[in-house]
Amino acid sequence: MFAPAVRTRWDDAYLYIESNGLPAHDMMVGITAWQQQLPLPQNYRAENAWRLPLFPVPAKQGVSIRNRFLRGAIAIAANGVPIFNPQNNRGEISLDIGELDKWGGHCGRADDYHYHVAPLHLQKTTGPRLPIAYAMDGYPILGLTEPDGTLPANLDGFRGHSHSELGYHYHASSSYPFVMGGFHGEVVERDGQVDPQPRATPVRESLPALKGAAITGFQKVGEQGCKVTYAVDGEERTVAVTQGADGNSRFVVNDGRTESVTQVRAPRPKPGRDAPARREGKVHAAGAEPPRSSDGTFRLSSPVVEDMGELPARFTGQGLGVSPPLVWTGAPKNTTAFALIMDHIDPKGQPKWYWILHGIPGSCTSLKEGSGDVGKPGTGFRGRIGYEPPMSKGPGARTYVITLFALSAPLAPGLPESVDRDALLAAIKGRVLASSSLRVIHTSAGGAERPRGPGGSPDQGLPKIPSRRSPELSDPRMRQDDGSSSWIKPTFDDTMKLRVYADNWFMPLSSRKRT
């Protein structure tokens, strides 16, 4: 059932799907909410291949995808392209806000193309008898009709049902939830996504949204490149990317008024046998690159989180809110001091900073957890002195960058209240010998709504996850990224831990065809 460019293999328990994540059709045309990503091939192969249960059977209790599984794929299309939740990682319906092209897809922060709705156009090639996709629990997803062309009947809440020949399967739809409503089979949820699954490997930093841009054209360039045409305020612009034989990516931007600007980026390491695995006490993003370094020698890392890994809750607003421990090696010999910034770019493209620390002695090689005895703290973007733990606004993942600067000379003394991100960047200008960054991810489910009046108690059952339009709570102890008072900082007693309990399931062997 898979496209010729997709390779499959299997063992006794799993089906493995290998692809470069790119479809045969054009992409991007029709997007009006664009974050300047381009579709680049991904290495969904070998140990970074998609893995689905070969013989799925029902879980004891299925789970809905509404406001859950907002990161990563929930299904794999017949052409090897991942299918994500119809909601983006902020909880919005991607189709409703102009993020998707006319094929129902777009690119993520790693320039990885994926769908957010069922690719019903694949029925033209698969036909009505074969699935257009497989869910991550292993069950097939058919189009709008049964194999005989009739409309499906008696669908459950996940848009699935059993069939005498196919066994249990889902049916896609042309309206929400588009793909399926939830997982009938067992899945493991970790960090807001189905686990395990491959990781895309970016070749550049993610960019902010380009306001007013509408993509009008797409052209393939070579085997793995493309050129996108878009308009901003009636002006036509283009951006193109090509990949050389060495794997380097070359970006050419033309804003319609100035000459093209070319950028060459080195490839990120590809996932494979040498990719570190998850370890207890650490969350590692398989296949992520080592911490970035300006000189290739100076390296910043942490004993509790890998680069592009999930920051443990202890160091966020959902836990104790202490600063994470850091270690570094390879500082230039003439380093006399270090300075540190932890920041994040919000959806509007504006920087927000959570940790400013300067005056770190040049002999120092580490910071302890919650370190308050080393260096001089600056202010966060809310004006608080010291470490301000991340507390993402709304559900989804956010990336925070911790950057350490090796300085040739210490900074002039100053009051902590006077040192913010801009002031520190201005002060270190001309003194930076090298820098290294560690990127960490914080995923928020939005938090549970707390009782308003004294003596109140939370509602029974699952807590309500407030939307952006929920009435503002009065407790001032926790503030949102935009400075407004909205959520109460949860305690450990408030934390809801979601688990999907495993159970064996059954599906007739005849209903699964090995490709």
End position of a domain, from candidates 444, 468, 492: 444
**For residue 11, is pLDDT > 50?**
yes
Which of 179-183, 233-237, 474-478 is predicted least confidently? 474-478
Query: How far is residue 477's CA from residue 484's CA, in Å, rounded to a whole number?
Result: 11
Look at residue 279 and tell me if it is in a domain: no
Q: Are residues 36 and 178 in the same domain?
A: yes
Measuring CA to CA, which residue among 402, 413, 404 is closest to residue 359? 413
The letter for the amino acid at 77 is: A
Q: Are residues 169 and 21 in the same domain?
A: yes
Q: Return the pLDDT at 344.
A: 86
**For residue 252, is pLDDT > 50?**
yes
Look at residue 298 and tell me if it is in a domain: yes
Cα 17-19-139 angle, rounded to 5 deg = 35
Which of 172-176, 297-301, 371-375, 496-500 is predicted least confidently? 496-500
| DSSP 8-state class, residue 112 | -
**For residue 322, is pLDDT > 50?**
yes
Task: Give the residue with greater pLDDT, 260 vs 377.
Answer: 377
Look at residue 260 and tell me if it is in a domain: yes
- In DSSP notation, 165-200 reads TTEEEEE--SSTTTT-SEEEE--EEETTEEES----
Cα 501-504-506 angle, rounded to 5 deg = 140
Q: Return the pLDDT at 467.
A: 34
Query: How far is residue 465's CA from residue 468's CA, in Å, rounded to a whole number?
Result: 10
Q: Are residues 194 and 238 in the same domain?
A: no
Task: Give the residue with greater pLDDT, 77 vs 472.
Answer: 77
Burial classification of residue 214, based on how many CB atoms lie within 10 Å of its CB (0-12 exposed, 13-18 middle, 19 or more buried): middle
**381: region left, alpha or beta (phi > 0 left; psi from -120 to 50 alpha):** alpha
**Which CA distances in Å does 39 have to 78, 100, 174, 206, 481?**
18, 13, 24, 13, 30
pLDDT mean across residues, the chain: 79
Helices marked H in 23-130: 123-126
**For residue 479, is pLDDT > 60?**
no
Measuring CA to CA, which residue among 21, 48, 61, 52 is closest to residue 37? 21
**Which CA distances in Å does 383 have to 53, 370, 481, 483, 484?**
50, 19, 12, 10, 13
Cα 386-323-277 angle, rounded to 5 deg = 155
Q: Are residues 230 and 167 in the same domain?
A: no
Asked if 8 and 14 touch (Cβ cutoff 8 Å), the reply is no
Q: What is the CATH number of the domain that holds 400?
A: 3.90.280.10
Q: Are residues 297 and 171 in the same domain?
A: no
pLDDT tier at 445, thresholds 50, 70, 90: low
Q: Are residues 253 and 339 in the same domain?
A: no
- The dihedral over CA atoms of 227, 228, 231, 236, expressed in degrees to the nearest 10, equals 10
Q: Are residues 327 and 178 in the same domain?
A: no
| Structure confidence by residue, pLDDT tens digits, 133-174 | 999 999 999 999 998 889 999 999 999 999 877 899 999 999
Look at residue 347 and tell me if it is in a domain: yes
Asked if 344 and 480 touch (Cβ cutoff 8 Å), the reply is no
Q: Return the pLDDT at 476.
A: 32
Helices marked H in 404-486: 421-428
SS3 271: coil
pLDDT tier at 413, thresholds 50, 70, 90: low
Q: What is the mean pLDDT of residues 391-408?
A: 83
Look at residue 480 and tell me if it is in a domain: no
Q: Return the pLDDT at 496.
A: 33
Q: Are residues 226 and 195 in the same domain?
A: no
pTM of the model: 0.55
- In DSSP notation, 272-295 reads STTSPPPBTTBB--TTPPPPEESS
**For residue 487, is pLDDT > 60?**
no
Peptide bond into 177 cis (omega under 30): yes
pLDDT tier at 469, thresholds 50, 70, 90: very low
Which of 67-81, 283-297, 410-424, 476-490 is predicted least confidently? 476-490
Q: Return the pLDDT at 349.
A: 67
**pLDDT above 70 covers what percent of the chain?**
76
**Which CA distances in Å does 384 have to 288, 387, 388, 483?**
32, 8, 7, 11
Question: Can you give the length of the chain in residues?
Answer: 515
Look at residue 478 and tell me if it is in a domain: no
Which of 218-227, 249-258, 413-422 is predicted least confidently? 413-422
SS3 416: helix
Query: How far is residue 445's CA from residue 216's CA, in Å, rounded to a whole number?
Result: 35
Which of 194-203, 252-261, 504-513 is predicted least confidently? 504-513
**For residue 130, is pLDDT > 50?**
yes
| Structure confidence by residue, pLDDT tens digits, 261-309 | 666 665 554 443 333 333 223 333 333 344 477 777 899 999 999 888 8
User: What tokens does 474 get?
Assistant: 């009065």
Asked if 412 and 427 touch (Cβ cutoff 8 Å), the reply is yes
Task: Give the residue with greater pLDDT, 265 vs 504.
Answer: 265
Q: Return the pLDDT at 325.
A: 94
Q: Are residues 507 and 434 in the same domain?
A: no
End position of a domain, from candidates 426, 444, 462: 444
**Residue 444 half-sphere exposure, CB side, CA atoms within 13 Å?**
26
Asked if 232 and 238 touch (Cβ cutoff 8 Å), the reply is no
**For residue 468, is pLDDT > 80?**
no
**For residue 50, is pLDDT > 80?**
yes
User: What tokens does 484 get?
Assistant: 């407004």
Look at residue 479 and tell me if it is in a domain: no
Count: domains in the chain: 3
**Which CA distances in Å does 447 have to 79, 143, 352, 473, 490?**
36, 35, 21, 12, 8
Q: Are residues 185 and 218 in the same domain?
A: no
pLDDT tier at 112, thresholds 50, 70, 90: very high
Q: Are residues 12 and 124 in the same domain?
A: yes
**Domain range for 237:** 213-265
Q: Are residues 336 and 408 in the same domain?
A: yes
Look at residue 481 and tell me if it is in a domain: no
Q: What is the mean pLDDT of residues 342-353?
A: 80
Neighbours of 467 (CB within 10 A): 12
Q: What is the mean pLDDT of residues 101-124?
A: 95
